[in-house]
Chains A and B, each alone.
Chain A
Amino acid sequence: MFGLITGFHATLLFVVVYFSVFCSTFFILIFLQNIQHMKNPKNPKKYSVTIIIPAHNEEAGIAATIKSALSINYPKRLLEIMVIENGESKDKTYAIAKKFEKFGVKVFQLKKAGKGHALNYGIKKAKGEIIITMDADTYIRDKDILHKVLSYFSNPEIFSVAPAIRPAPPKTLAQRIQYVEYVFGIFLRKVFSLIDAVYVTPGAFTAYRKVIFKKVGYFDDNNITEDFEMTLRIQKQHFRIANVIDAMVYTNSPDNFSDLMKQRVRWFLGFIDCLIIHKSLFHVKHGYLGIFILPSAIISITLSLALFLFSIGKLIFETVKFFTRASVSDFYNMYKFTLYNIKFDSFFYSASIVDFVVVILFLLGVFIFFAARKYSKDQEKFAISFFFYIALYVFLFASWWIKTLLYKLAGKDLRFGGVVWNNNLISKLTNRVS
């Protein structure tokens, strides 16, 4: 049986590595074919813009968020900023936001909780022809961000534009790993936008033509990942979404693994529900999104979980074997025995196809990472973060998904943003936005 596990593990590893190299190569090819599109288009037109910042229990970051919005280099007469406190925050979110009214910020208070609900309220009240949704724990350093983002609306086919999202400068191990993850995300989002396959316009900061909400509907306030759900609706009707790789927006990321787990479980629960609701996107008529990007996402998750579980099985097997040996020998000498067998003579070196290809895969990853940093002009120190990402991310990713699936199977409700989210999929299906 153990031989079976080892053999299957080797085959699975082969499949995972092949799939990973294929996807990485595909994305890099798209990227290289479109290097000239890294430059933002020129667009002299000035749009009226409304930035909507929904907030619930955000006293820690709301002030910095509003200040960064106010600091944007854009004609004030064309810029409207709204803060919509919702769900009767237990902290001073509303009071802090109110202090900014003297700077022209409009502050609203909604009794009903829910980010989607708050956004819809703001959209209906907004005067701007471009709506920007912005999280209350997000901040902008690039004062020219609006010029960059809005330039893409010169193309009448573009209805939504997202910038590059990055976590705030990392301080903890969990944040370091997320930093590298987001940098890879910067590259992928740009590539996806080049093939009209963006599947999430981040709630942290995304610009929409206001008319899109008349065409596809407002945010689904029954959905825990309303940004993801909105994106899929936009894609369903083949409205185009652009990405600005050098317009950087910073968001606060969980500083410990426990909060990170909660965040990811929430994202992944939303991911599952949204894909089921919009399963018709898995079709060739939706281009790369339908036949490659979305299926690849599911394949990646499945393969990661399978590889993780088989790796754990193999690790348990090797551990049992190790301790079986240890049980018949002096425990103190157990480690001496293990080290004794390590040799550095080249005769003892063994290399398989997978060993070689994993090195290539690593190099492809390095290329993607540096390309993302170069074009997004990111200058964060990365060496330690990259090391921990390589060492730990696969295990973290698998553990988030395992917890998500267990959560889903258990049907437990989720509390977030002042709302208790019903985990029952059937309920979500009957409530979906048509």
Chain B
Amino acid sequence: MREINKLNFIAAFSITTLIFLAGFAFSSSIYNSKIDALQQIEVELYTDNLEIEAQYELAYSDVCDTESLITLNRDLNEMSDKMNYLEREITDESLQIILKNIKRQYFVMEIKHWLFVQRVNEECGYDYPTILFFYSNRDCPSCEIQGIILTEYKKENPNTMIYSFDTAFSESKIVKNLIEKWDITRQPSIVYHDIVFDYTVSRGELDIII
């Protein structure tokens, strides 16, 4: 009978488990820093919204000044990038609450921007296309595809303003109002010039519509 030293197995098992516990601690610290970052975003967003309110006041004083629109676009795009990432990556229920608060503020930013662009188009004779995109984060694969199509369209047509609203997000009164206004019943749906397209609009069709 050959001898076996069980201590070697115990030591290897212990060290391996310790390594995994260290990994857990590392992962938790990353996760906690994400929570901190999210909460920070929430606070910053609230502060930004106050500043943006002031920016809109300034912008409305000279609606046709394109510099103001560029600044507001940049703010919205930055927020949009972060929102896209957050929606995709954050699945943990404990973070959803913070995410919801951020989403509500984001939708408010979108509506403000949309109203501003409408005003710019009316008063300055510009023709910035605006698209309202209604999607759902719950079990809607075609929503993702529509999102991709719209993202690509915007890359090629940077003057196009696209505003995305999650119809599954029942906490937002603004979203509810918009859904009622255009009687949105299916996702994805896009609204352009008050016309609702309640199917996945292809890239080619977008060129025709817009």
A21, B149: Cα distance in complex, Å: 44
Interface 9-mer from A40-48, A287-295, A307-315, A422-430: A287-295
Q: Does A351 belong to the interface (CB within 8 Å)?
A: yes
Residues B26 and A356 in contact, CB atoms below 8 Å apart:
yes
Q: Does B24 belong to the interface (CB within 8 Å)?
A: yes
The 8 Å CB contact of B30, one of A196, A328, A351, is A351
Q: Which residues of B contact A292 (CB under 8 A)?
A: 9
The 8 Å CB contact of B145, one of A291, A328, A352, is A328
A350, B37: Cα distance in complex, Å: 13
Give B20-38 interface residues, CB cut-off 8 Å to A. Answer: 20, 22-24, 26-27, 30, 34, 37
Residues A330 and B152 in contact, CB atoms below 8 Å apart:
yes
| Closest A residue to B89 using CB positions | A350
Interface 9-mer from A23-31, A115-123, A203-211, A226-234: A23-31
Q: Which residues of A contact B8 (CB under 8 A)?
A: 26, 29-30, 33
Q: Min CB distance, A311 to chain B, in Å?
A: 21
Q: Does A329 belong to the interface (CB within 8 Å)?
A: yes
1/0 per residue B138-152: CB within 8 Å of A? 000000110011011
Residues B4 and A284 in contact, CB atoms below 8 Å apart:
yes
Tell me whether chain B's interface is mostly helix, strand or loop, or mixed: helix
A18-B16, A356-B22 given; A330·B203 CB < 8 A:
yes
A291-B4, A340-B155, A353-B23 given; A25·B203 CB < 8 A:
no
Residues A360 and B2 in contact, CB atoms below 8 Å apart:
no
Q: Does A286 belong to the interface (CB within 8 Å)?
A: yes
Q: Min CB distance, B2 to chain A, in Å?
A: 3
| Closest B residue to A328 using CB positions | B145
Residues A287 and B85 in contact, CB atoms below 8 Å apart:
no
Q: Which residues of B contact A347 (CB under 8 A)?
A: 34, 37, 82, 85
Residues B203 and A360 in contact, CB atoms below 8 Å apart:
no
Q: Does B174 belong to the interface (CB within 8 Å)?
A: no
Residues B202 and A285 in contact, CB atoms below 8 Å apart:
no
1/0 per residue B143-184: CB within 8 Å of A? 011001101100110000000000000000000000000000
Q: Does A344 belong to the interface (CB within 8 Å)?
A: no
| Closest A residue to B153 using CB positions | A329
Q: Which residues of B contact A291 (CB under 8 A)?
A: 4
Give A155-194 interface residues, CB cut-off 8 Å to B. Answer: none
Residues B30 and A333 in contact, CB atoms below 8 Å apart:
no
Residues A29 and B23 in contact, CB atoms below 8 Å apart:
no
| Closest B residue to A354 using CB positions | B23
A325-B148, A336-B155 given; A26·B12 CB < 8 A:
yes
Q: Does A343 belong to the interface (CB within 8 Å)?
A: yes
Residues B1 and A22 in contact, CB atoms below 8 Å apart:
no
Residues A25 and B145 in contact, CB atoms below 8 Å apart:
no
Q: Min CB distance, A2 to chain B, in Å?
A: 11
Q: Min CB distance, B188 to chain A, in Å?
A: 12
Q: Which residues of B contact A357 (CB under 8 A)?
A: 19-20, 23
Residues A18 and B82 in contact, CB atoms below 8 Å apart:
no
Residues B27 and A356 in contact, CB atoms below 8 Å apart:
yes
1/0 per residue A348-370: CB within 8 Å of B? 11111111110010000000000
A27, B12: Cα distance in complex, Å: 9
Q: Which residues of B contact A353 (CB under 8 A)?
A: 20, 23-24, 26-27
Q: Min CB distance, A235 to chain B, in Å?
A: 9
Q: Which residues of B contact A324 (CB under 8 A)?
A: 145
A228, B85: Cα distance in complex, Å: 54
Q: Does A408 belong to the interface (CB within 8 Å)?
A: no
| Closest A residue to B24 using CB positions | A353
Q: Which residues of A contact B23 (CB under 8 A)?
A: 353-357, 360
Q: Which residues of B contact A288 (CB under 8 A)?
A: 2, 4
| Closest A residue to B38 using CB positions | A347
A29-B8, A333-B152 given; A286·B2 CB < 8 A:
yes
Q: Which of B4, B24, B144, B145 has the most CB of A within 10 A?
A: B4
Q: Min CB distance, A20 to chain B, in Å?
A: 9
Q: Which residues of A contact B27 (CB under 8 A)?
A: 351-353, 355-356
Q: Which residues of A contact B20 (CB under 8 A)?
A: 18, 21, 353, 357
Q: Min CB distance, A344 to chain B, in Å?
A: 13
A352, B145: Cα distance in complex, Å: 28
Give B30-81 interface residues, CB cut-off 8 Å to A. Answer: 30, 34, 37, 81
A330, B206: Cα distance in complex, Å: 13
Residues B12 and A22 in contact, CB atoms below 8 Å apart:
yes
Q: Does B13 belong to the interface (CB within 8 Å)?
A: yes
Q: Which residues of B contact A360 (CB under 8 A)?
A: 19, 23
Q: Does A382 belong to the interface (CB within 8 Å)?
A: no
A291, B13: Cα distance in complex, Å: 15
The 8 Å CB contact of A328, one of B9, B16, B203, is B203
Q: Min CB distance, A136 to chain B, in Å?
A: 35
Q: Min CB distance, B23 to chain A, in Å?
A: 4
1/0 per residue A5-22: CB within 8 Å of B? 000000000000010011
Closest 10 CB pairs of A and B: A287-B2, A356-B23, A26-B12, A353-B23, A22-B16, A25-B12, A351-B30, A357-B23, A356-B26, A285-B1
In addition to A347-B85, A353-B26, 20 A-B residue pairs with Cβ atoms within 8 Å of each other are A18-B16, A18-B20, A25-B15, A25-B19, A26-B8, A29-B15, A288-B2, A290-B2, A292-B9, A328-B202, A329-B152, A333-B156, A336-B155, A337-B152, A347-B34, A347-B37, A347-B82, A351-B26, A353-B27, A360-B19
Q: Show 24 residue pairs from A and B whose CB-CB distance is below 8 angstroms, ordered by the A residue.
A: A18-B16, A18-B20, A22-B12, A25-B15, A25-B19, A29-B11, A196-B2, A287-B2, A325-B148, A328-B149, A328-B200, A329-B148, A329-B203, A330-B152, A336-B155, A337-B151, A340-B151, A349-B30, A350-B89, A353-B24, A353-B26, A356-B22, A357-B20, A357-B23
State the A residues within 8 Å of B (CB). Answer: 18, 21-23, 25-26, 29-30, 33, 196, 238, 284-292, 324-325, 328-330, 333, 336-337, 340, 343, 347-357, 360
